[in-house]
Amino acid sequence: MKARLPAPGRLAVALAALAVLLGLAAGPAAAQSETENQLVSSSPADGETVPVSPDRLVFTFAEPLGPDDVLTAPVACATVSQDTGIPDVSSDRTEVTVEVLSPFPRGACTVPWLLRDGLGETIDSGLIAFSVQTEAAPGDDTDETDDTDEPAPAAPPPQTATDGTDDGSSGGALWLGRVLSTTAILALFGALVLVGTAWPEGPEYVITARFLRSLWAIALVGTALFVVAFTAEVSDRAFGASLSPATWTDLLDAGWPGRAALLRLLLVVATGWVVLRPERVIDPTTQLPAFVIPALAVVAVGLSRTGGDLALVGTLLSIAHALAAAVWLGGALLVARVVVAGPGDDDLVHAVRGFNRISAPAIALTVVTGVFQMFRLVGGALFTSSHGRVLLLKAVVVAAMVFVAMTARQMVSARLQRAEEMTAASADRFRRAYSAEAGIGIVVLALSGWLLALSPAGIDDRVTYPVERQFVDTASGLDMIVSVTPAMAGLNGLRVEVEAPQEGITNLVVVFVPPADSEARGIEQPIPLTGAGTAVLAAADGFPLDVPGTWTMQVSAVTQEGTLTDAQTSFTVGGEATDVPVPPDAPAVGDPDDGDPDDGDTPPIVTIEVEPEG
């Protein structure tokens, strides 16, 4: 008979056997979990910007996946989950493909992927962030295939639905309107100065009245075009949406250049009072307002650019430059197109001589003020900036204009010294000389319009942000500045400038939490930056801060050095509570009741754009 172990001994043996069995069972699993397998590439790649939504996501691993390994890769674009298919493993088990069931929207997308083994243990994980540049074509569906071999039609250019507008460019219209408006206003004032100071007989000629009215019509059309295009630029509306005069008040918020554009239009309209009866510039009872109204229109032209070093002095010199250039250009045009249009009496001789007298100081003042403005605005960047190079070209053309002007003055002095009338031969010779001078002047004004579209080195044209908050985190190495404008209840613009790290940033998000005692909506804004750089959201397309008070700004991000979670600071929003319109079909990302931006009730923010370097 075999001896029996006592009860404690039997229990010890059973436990030992169970431990051995568990160890044998866990052996293969442990060996598998200890096997290293890493993601070596993906399509789209982390940080990539793709033209259109991909039709599949591809993950490539260094080693073949085990038979029980599982990849999960949920996709979110602008914090909204996207529809994807079941991951499909390739025959060599090193590549996993995830089908995109519905095209991703334009903007930033993130893919937090996770590779697990059969026991649920994590083998590898990470996050891929990429951006889709173009919205998918209407009706496009990535899970439908075409039986033909014809290539799919190209997707349309990106469009932004903001207040019913589109992205129509107004740059060409802005330049054309500015050039037409400036040229006609300066020419009109200079012609009136010549009539009022040296050619009182001018209004008696029908050709004079026609010339002045033609200039006024060009000034009116050009200025209206300029105001519409300028409104479209500062408000981010389409050109067509800016045709309504009700939208032109947006220029009041564009600083002095915007206000000067509206003032210019009003003064051009008022100048019609002078043009309809040109004799008002020689009538003592109406001469003062007849000169002042078009002169103020020229002053408005001189206010097209303000700022920089010695801003007040620069503005005054800009006005003097415009007035002097008007006397020079306008007089030359009037002489070329009207005064020497043909032979005539001695009044034509006096008009040409009078223009030579008043144009000499005008030329000198134009050159001196132009040189001062060149050094004030450009400094030493004359050859190293776009504005400086265009300004250098303008200086060369002005020098040519001065040369032609001096040559014409010498010819006039020699031929009209004792003349009593304008002969046909003299009129023809003078017409060619003054037409060349005026033509070069128009080229100069065209270059001036180009210059106003460029930022000079001496002026910082960036938007002013009343709120600027810096976030520095040593654990993640993140160093960034978040700026908000105008920090008032309503739509606000955003600027995010990342100084460090240079690369490797994923899932960068800025959250705005409303005051605790309000029912306002929280805002969660993904930032499409993967390294050092700047992202900007214009105020016209901005995010809604519904109520005034103390808001909280939170920043989260993942870097190669670590993770930053909900670093926060506060800032003040002014104004009164406002009901910001929201698209009815906008998905939700926040809660109006508690201000938590993760609960699912607040409309998302439009795509923030990465600002080009420099």
What spatial distance separates the first Cα and last Cα of the chain, rounded to whole Å? 96
- Residue that the structure tokens 């070209």 belong to: 393
Task: Judge whether residue 213 has pLDDT over 90.
Answer: yes
Task: Judge whether residue 76 has pLDDT over 50.
Answer: yes
Structure tokens at 374: 């060149």
Query: What pLDDT is stored for residue 249 in this prediction?
Result: 87
Structure tokens at 28: 């293969």
| Helix (H), strand (E), coil (C) string for 531-554 | EEEEEEECHHHCEEECCCEEEEEE
- Considering only 107-111, 216-220, 441-445, 479-483, which range has the smallest mean pLDDT? 107-111
Arithmetic mean of pLDDT, 59-64: 89
User: Taking a C-beta distance cutoff of 8 angstroms, is the pair 139, 103 a contact?
Assistant: no
Contacts of 464-468 spanning 24+ positions with Cβ under 8 A: 465/493, 465/495, 467/571, 467/572
Give the separation between CA 208 and CA 339, rounded to whole angstroms: 8
Amino acid code (one letter) for 99? E
pLDDT in tens, 422-444: 888 888 998 999 999 989 989 98
- Which residues contact residue 106 at a Cβ distance below 8 angstroms, ignoring those fewer than 6 apart? 132, 133, 134, 135, 158, 607
Arithmetic mean of pLDDT, 250-273: 89
Q: What percent of the chain has pLDDT over 70?
A: 78
Burial group, residue 341, by CB count within 10 angstroms (0-12, 13-18, 19+): middle
Give the separation between CA 477 and CA 559, rounded to whole angstroms: 8
Give the separation between CA 357 and CA 350, rounded to whole angstroms: 10
What is the number of helices (H) and of strands (E) in the chain? 9, 20
User: Taking a C-beta distance cutoff of 8 angstroms, is the pair 154, 100 a contact?
Assistant: no
Tell me which of 77 and 455 has the higher pLDDT.
77
Task: Judge whether residue 596 has pLDDT over 60.
Answer: no
Structure tokens at 256: 């002095």
- Going through 49-204 in order, the beta strands assigned E by DSSP cover 49-50, 56-61, 70-72, 76-77, 80-81, 88-89, 95-99, 107-116, 122-132
pTM of the predicted model as reported, rounded to 2 decimal places: 0.54
Query: What pLDDT is stored for residue 194 in this prediction?
Result: 93
Task: Judge whether residue 592 has pLDDT over 80.
Answer: no
Assign 608 a pLDDT band (cuts: 50, 70, 90): low
Q: Is 61 helix (H, G, I), strand (E, B) or coil?
A: strand
pLDDT in tens, 304-351: 876 666 778 888 989 999 999 999 999 999 999 999 888 888 889 888
* Eight-class DSSP state of 84: B
Give the separation between CA 540 and CA 461, rounded to whole angstroms: 17
User: Taking a C-beta distance cutoff of 8 angstroms, is the pair 262, 248 a contact?
Assistant: yes
Give the separation between CA 449 and CA 373, rounded to whole angstroms: 15
Give the separation between CA 380 and CA 357, rounded to whole angstroms: 36
**424-452 helix and 311-334 helix, angle to the nearest 10 degrees:** 150
User: Taking a C-beta distance cutoff of 8 angstroms, is the pair 297, 273 a contact?
Assistant: no
Give the separation between CA 80 and CA 49, rounded to whole angstroms: 18
Structure tokens at 88: 């499909």
Strand partners, 409: none
User: Taking a C-beta distance cutoff of 8 angstroms, is the pair 500, 473 a contact?
Assistant: no
